[in-house]
Structure formats: structure tokens, C-alpha cells
Amino acid sequence: MESCIIETPLGFTKIVGDDYGITDITVLNSTEKITDIIPESLEECVIQLNEYFEGTRQQFDLALNPQGTDFQNKVWRQLEQIPYGKTITYFELSKQLGDIKAIRAVAQANAKNPIWIVIPCHRVIGSDGHLTGYAGGLHRKRWLLEHECPHKQQSLF
């Protein structure tokens, strides 16, 4: 496995992967040394993340290799189907997966998503429309959803 650290608008981010795909993208809560030379297997991921943050990319086209249980991988694949700029609830996600009673298990799998942003767990919200738990912090979830919002609020002042 190879890794690198890049800086994003939401903090330092660690990317891990190899020729089989990206296994982890994690936002860090500390200051880290930015990687000088990006490993070849991670270059495309860095490019696409930068495009996402610049607002020029809405879909990722990367080989992903998240490590999890069969159920977690099923949930993560379903998360990838949530369109840019849209949100769904945990209940809706459970329904899409075919078992509304599995809402807690779905929420736990969502929370264990190892590939930040690319597998868009930030697009899942509470049934009442409120932002709920997010491993990267609710301030980052809010930022990501506002970044993806198709209707940008203009300043009145």
C-alpha cells in the first residue's frame, strides 16, 4: 500500500491505495506534512479530489477497494448511487437496500465508510432533514453539502 497527504479546504487528507484501487481517504484533525511526490497509483485520485474541491468535478471515476464486510460493501456501493447535490435519509437508504428494519446497521456501515467524499456518506441525513453524525465532523458535512448545492445563496450585502 502507498499513501500520501494532501491539503484540502477541509483539512489535511490521507489517501491510501495501490494498483488495485483506493482503500482509504481520511480527513485528518491535525496538521501533517504534505507529500512531496505523489505515488503513481494515487495521482488520479489526487487530481480528481482537487477537481471536486475546485467545483469542476461532480462524479469520481476511480478504482475503489474499500475493506469491509459484505454488508458494508453493499451499503457503500449504494452510497455511490446518490447523485451530486442530492441527499437521502437513512430510512430511504435502508429502503433502497431492501430492508427498512436494517436502518441501524445501515447507519453503522455508513459511519465506517473508509473512502471520504468519493463514497459520499455525507449525502445521508436524518429523517427530519437535520444533519446527523459524521466521522469528519458536522462542520465538514455542512461544508460538503453546501459545496454541492446547485442553488448557491448569494450574499445580500
* Enzyme catalytic residues: 121
**Residue 114 near residue 23 (C-beta atoms within 8 A):** yes
Phi, psi of 112 (to 5 degrees): -95, 5
d(CA 41, CA 5): 14
Alpha helices in the chain (DSSP H): 43-54, 70-79, 90-96, 103-111, 138-148
The single residue listed with the C-alpha cell 448557491 is 152
d(CA 79, CA 93): 8
| Single-letter amino acid code for the residue at 113 | N
| Single-letter amino acid code for the residue at 35 | T
Give residue 133's Cα distance to chain centre. 14
